[in-house]
Amino acid sequence: MFELSPAQLAQYEADGYVMVEQLFSREEMDLLLRIGKADRKIQLDATDRSDSQGFVTRLTVRNTLESDMYSAIARCRRVVRPMEQLLGGEVYHYHHKMMLKEPEVGGAWEWHQDYGYWYNNGCLYPLMASCMIAVDRATKANGCLQVVPGSQHLGRLDHGKVAGQTGVDPERMAQVLERLPLVYAEMEPGTALFFHGNTLHRSDANLSKDSRWTLICCYNAARNNPYKEHHHPCYMPLEQWQDERVLEAGKAHWAELEQALAQGVVAP
């Protein structure tokens, strides 16, 4: 079972993130990308978020875990076990989302902290983190994630409306960038970035001819159960799946999609 090393845990503590190369195989990511491109439901359910330049990024959020490949990844031990290490105990699935940054039109994401949103959902502590998995290649050219190392130590910053998104106060963000570095998280397919709920991050618009799709799996510590109900779930025990079930679930998911496409219907 994959676990983060002491050095990786120390990096997360210092920087607020740690990158793990080849956490998923190229076969797994090729299959996930094929599924995502053919999945009409994920396209129909996507919501659009405009940036300050008028470009649009699409994302589809799921609060429940099903038998599909997206859910298999969110359940699998090579993601959940590191989350348990990082958050210091039992975790549960908060939600997962596919980010669909399409060629030449995919918009930017403004500077924000995930806990900047989740705080308002009744989560008292920032015992929350995400695992972002590159489904296809993420580069500067196609708008890869940018992170600010050490920014999680700033605590939660005030957020407000920035274009069609919610982002960090621009005045304070300018001061942060004078004091802390900026890192471009370029990633090959299958690479994963685990990052703290208070780590500042953003991305540029995708003006290239290559798509930039990512699957982001988000988790909350079981002991940080929200004090009120919200659109994201409260604590439920997370059934962890063996890693080999990712490919098994993907093949079954693809077979279901192929059948639906042949019949001209949207797969459930």
Give per-residue pLDDT as tens, 165-176. Answer: 778 998 999 999
Rounded to whole angstroms, the Cα distance separating 113 from 108 reads 15
Rounded to whole angstroms, the Cα distance separating 121 from 230 reads 6
Which residues fall within 8 angstroms of residue 261, CB to CB, at 6 or more apart? 38
Give per-residue pLDDT as tens, 104-154. Answer: 677 788 899 999 999 999 999 999 999 999 999 999 999 999 999 999 999
Number of domains in the chain: 1
Give per-residue pLDDT as tens, 31-69. Answer: 999 999 999 888 889 887 776 677 777 889 999 999 999
Compute the mean pLDDT over every residue in the chain, rounded to the nearest whole number: 93
Nearest by Cα to 187 from 6, 17, 69: 17
Per-residue pLDDT, 34: 95
Per-residue pLDDT, 109: 83
Rounded to whole angstroms, the Cα distance separating 105 from 208 reads 9
Residue 268 has pLDDT above 90, yes or no: no
Q: Is residue 20 part of a domain?
A: yes
Instruction: Print the domain residue range for 175.
Output: 6-258
**CATH number for the domain that contains residue 13:** 2.60.120.620
Per-residue pLDDT, 80: 98
Q: Is residue 127 part of a domain?
A: yes
- Structural element, H or E, at residue 160: strand 159-162
Q: Is residue 31 part of a domain?
A: yes
Give per-residue pLDDT as tens, 64-100. Answer: 999 999 999 999 999 999 999 999 999 999 999 999 8
> Could you tell me how many residues make up the chain?
268
Q: Is residue 202 part of a domain?
A: yes
Q: Which residue has the tokens 């129909």?
A: 44
Q: Is residue 264 part of a domain?
A: no
Q: What is the mean pLDDT of residues 198-222?
A: 94
Rounded to whole angstroms, the Cα distance separating 251 from 256 reads 9
Contact 226, 234 (CB under 8 A): yes
Q: Is residue 265 part of a domain?
A: no
Q: Is residue 104 part of a domain?
A: yes
Q: What angle do CA 209, 215, 219 make, to 5 degrees?
A: 150
Q: Is residue 178 part of a domain?
A: yes
Which residues fall within 8 angstroms of residue 181, CB to CB, at 6 or more apart? 148, 149
Residue 178 has pLDDT above 80, yes or no: yes
